[in-house]
């Protein structure tokens, strides 16, 4: 993309309404624009990152054997009355009526709808196990929408639902989700720690929230610092293997890590003092086994091998796709702007032409642009007639992890400058070597072209 032809409405001033750094940078980098409280338009740069995150979530869900689909945002209230949640949900639910006076709602989640689909089409254990998911906009009329996309009213969420014959099978689905979530967050350059969470009114031990540590997080968290040493890395995993998935769950959840809702001071005190941490975190996902709550309420039964009917065991599993943009920025920025991890960066590398209009500099930039594009990467070429300082400030603000700077002086010696946004370090290389290096960096990140 050539910046002169893109739509990147960056702001020079700090927007006064933004209280935390991710919100501030998303507005300043021209990623989002508020249209109403807690409701945003996704401008091109924000949309690109949103789609990259969404793609990672899709790829990791499908890798785990979960099946993508799409359910609508607007739902009829009938199913919610059947499950009893129409009254329970309260004011967070946006209720609407259509021209015929029929009551509708903008879905805050989809347990009812998916259970209805299941009961309409599945009746036998032979069709199990089954996990269906979608990535769709949700609406919750939050009492205090704030912090930009972190706590919106309209937000983008992946929600998946597993259907299993037995509790044992459903717990395998739970573990599979835990593994696939760990992989997803790591690909986004994030450490999200599974913490034992509160099962709410349904109770039960089988729920974990994934938290990204950040001072601006809304949750208070308590953990053994040893959990921050754990990484999933690129180990192979067989998602069908009960032992392997269970093993990962044990590895990642056996140390103390809890949100304030489940915190137990006595247990926490058993952690060696020097490893006890109290901090804040951003919830970026939650997994939940809830048994037969919805299948009983909605009559979703399956026939077992013994011919007997029983309610199907279910769980639901969510990832806050739009909130993740804020969480990643909170975890990765400096005072000049965002620092995107390679896995989600909107463009793979910036090209800054220090002397636009200089025949040699222009030609060198064009050929870098072509070489990177031919290698399947997406460069952002700042081809505007602007001062170098302004171009650097924009690149730093929008946070591309790599920048190639091209100027007549370097070109005389046959070199361009390759700079890492994260370390700030630069090296001089031939244009070919710079391209080669960027191609190698991204070879380790499954990252395709964005939208
Ligand atoms: P919270 O406690 O933050 O209100 P929740 O526990 O009600 O969230 P879930 O129903 O578990 O949310 O939804 C799954 C994920 O969706 C959450 O982990 C979070 O990342 C994201 N999410 C929930 N509410 C919002 C919101 N208002 N804005 C943006 N993302 C949200
Ligand atoms: Mg939650």
CATH code (residue 123): 3.30.930.10
Q: Quick one: 22 and 68 in the same domain?
A: yes
Q: Quick one: 43 and 163 in the same domain?
A: yes
Cα angle value 300/297/113 (rounded, 5°): 65
Q: What is the pLDDT along the chain (451 residues), one digit of tens a residue?
A: 999 999 999 999 999 999 999 999 999 999 999 999 999 999 999 999 999 999 999 999 999 999 999 999 999 999 999 999 999 899 999 999 999 999 999 999 999 999 999 999 999 999 999 999 999 999 999 999 999 999 999 999 999 999 999 999 999 999 999 999 999 999 999 999 999 998 776 656 699 999 999 999 999 999 999 999 999 998 999 999 999 999 999 999 999 999 999 999 999 999 999 999 999 999 999 999 999 999 999 999 999 999 999 999 999 999 999 999 999 999 999 999 999 999 999 999 999 999 999 999 999 999 999 999 999 999 999 999 999 999 999 999 999 999 999 999 999 999 999 999 999 999 999 999 999 999 999 997 766 567 7
322 Cα–ligand 1 center, Å:
10
Q: Point out the ligand nearest to the CA of residue 159.
A: 1
* C-alpha closest to that of 139 among 148, 126, 129, 152: 152
Cβ-Cβ contacts under 8 Å for 101 (sequence gap 6 or more): none
Domain boundary among 283, 311, 338: 338
Helices (H), 64-201: 78-83, 85-88, 111-121, 167-187
Q: Quick one: 94 and 225 in the same domain?
A: yes
Can you give the pLDDT at residue 445? 76
- Whether residue 449 is contained in a domain is answered as no
Q: Quick one: 48 and 196 in the same domain?
A: yes
For ligand 1, whether the C-beta of 194 sits within 6 Å is no
Q: Quick one: 126 and 225 in the same domain?
A: yes
Q: Quick one: 298 and 364 in the same domain?
A: no
- Whether residue 448 is contained in a domain is answered as no
Q: Quick one: 354 and 311 in the same domain?
A: no
Which range of residues forms the domain containing residue 426?
Answer: 349-443
For ligand 1, whether the C-beta of 155 sits within 6 Å is yes
- Whether residue 42 is contained in a domain is answered as yes
- Judged on CB neighbours under 10 Å (0-12, 13-18, 19+), 63 is middle
Number of domains comprising the chain: 2
Q: Point out the ligand nearest to the CA of residue 108.
A: 1
Q: Quick one: 322 and 360 in the same domain?
A: no
Buried residues in 284-299 as b, exposed as e (16+ CB within 10 A): bbbbbbbbbbbbebbe
Residues with CB under 5 A from ligand 2 (ion): 286
- Rounded Cα distance between 176 and 180, Å, is 6
190, 330 in Cβ contact below 8 A? no
- Whether residue 450 is contained in a domain is answered as no
Can you give the pLDDT at residue 444? 77
Domain boundary among 338, 365, 383: 338
- Whether residue 451 is contained in a domain is answered as no
CATH number, domain containing residue 396: 3.40.50.800
Q: Quick one: 84 and 233 in the same domain?
A: yes
- Whether residue 343 is contained in a domain is answered as no
Can you give the pLDDT at residue 203? 59
pTM over 0.95: yes
155, 149 in Cβ contact below 8 A? yes
Can you give the pLDDT at residue 199? 77
Can you give the pLDDT at residue 448? 58
Q: Point out the ligand nearest to the CA of residue 181.
A: 1
Q: Quick one: 392 and 325 in the same domain?
A: no
Q: Quick one: 98 and 25 in the same domain?
A: yes
- Whether residue 120 is contained in a domain is answered as yes
Cβ-Cβ contacts under 8 Å for 141 (sequence gap 6 or more): 91, 92, 93, 94, 153
What is the residue with the minimal CA distance to atom 21 of ligand 1? 320
Domain boundary among 338, 364, 398: 338
CB atoms under 10 Å from CB of 385, counted, come to 9
Q: Quick one: 332 and 353 in the same domain?
A: no
For ligand 1, whether the C-beta of 318 sits within 6 Å is yes
- Whether residue 357 is contained in a domain is answered as yes
């Amino acid at each position: 993309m050539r910046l002169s032809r893109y739509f990147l409405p960056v702001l020079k001033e700090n927007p006064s309404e933004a209280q935390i750094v991710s919100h501030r940078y998303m507005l300043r980098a021209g990623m989002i624009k508020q249209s109403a409280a807690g409701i945003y338009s996704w401008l091109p740069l924000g949309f690109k990152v949103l789609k990259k995150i969404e793609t990672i979530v899709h790829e990791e869900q499908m890798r785990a054997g979960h099946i993508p689909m799409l359910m609508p945002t607007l739902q009829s209230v009938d199913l919610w009355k059947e499950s009893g949640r129409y009254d329970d949900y309260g004011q967070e639910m946006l209720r609407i009526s259509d021209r015929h006076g029929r009551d509708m709602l903008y879905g805050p989640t989809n347990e009812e709808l998916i259970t209805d689909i299941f009961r309409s089409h599945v009746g036998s254990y032979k069709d199990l196990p089954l996990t269906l998911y979608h990535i769709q906009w949700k609406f919750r009329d939050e009492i205090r929408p704030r912090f930009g996309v972190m706590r919106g009213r309209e937000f983008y969420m992946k929600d998946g639902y597993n259907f299993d014959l037995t509790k044992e099978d459903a717990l395998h689905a739970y573990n599979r989700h835990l593994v696939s979530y760990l992989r997803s967050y790591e690909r986004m350059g994030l450490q999200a720690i599974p913490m034992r969470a509160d099962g709410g009114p349904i109770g039960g031990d089988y729920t974990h929230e994934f938290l990204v540590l950040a001072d601006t997080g809304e949750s208070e968290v308590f953990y053994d610092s040893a959990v921050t040493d754990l990484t999933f890395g690129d180990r192979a995993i067989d998602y069908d293997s009960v032992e392997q998935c269970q093993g990962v769950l044990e590895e990642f959840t056996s140390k103390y890590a809890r949100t304030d809702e489940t915190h137990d001071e006595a247990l926490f005190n058993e952690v060696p003092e020097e490893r006890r941490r109290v901090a804040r975190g951003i919830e970026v996902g939650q997994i939940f086994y809830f048994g037969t709550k919805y299948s009983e309420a909605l009559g979703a039964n399956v026939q077992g091998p013994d011919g007997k009917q029983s309610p199907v065991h279910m769980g639901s599993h969510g990832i806050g796709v739009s909130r993740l943009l804020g969480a990643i920025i909170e975890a990765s920025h400096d005072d000049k702007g965002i620092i995107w991890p390679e896995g989600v960066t909107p463009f793979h590398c910036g090209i800054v032409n220090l002397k636009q209009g200089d025949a040699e500099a222009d030609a060198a930039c064009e050929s870098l642009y072509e070489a990177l594009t031919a290698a399947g990467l997406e460069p952002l070429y700042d081809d505007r007639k602007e001062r170098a300082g302004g171009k650097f400030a924009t690149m730093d603000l929008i946070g591309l992890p790599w920048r190639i700077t091209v100027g007549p002086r370097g070109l005389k010696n046959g070199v361009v400058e390759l700079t890492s946004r994260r370390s700030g370090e630069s090296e001089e290389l031939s244009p070919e070597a710079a391209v080669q290096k960027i191609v190698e960096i991204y070879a380790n990140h499954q990252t395709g072209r964005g939208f």
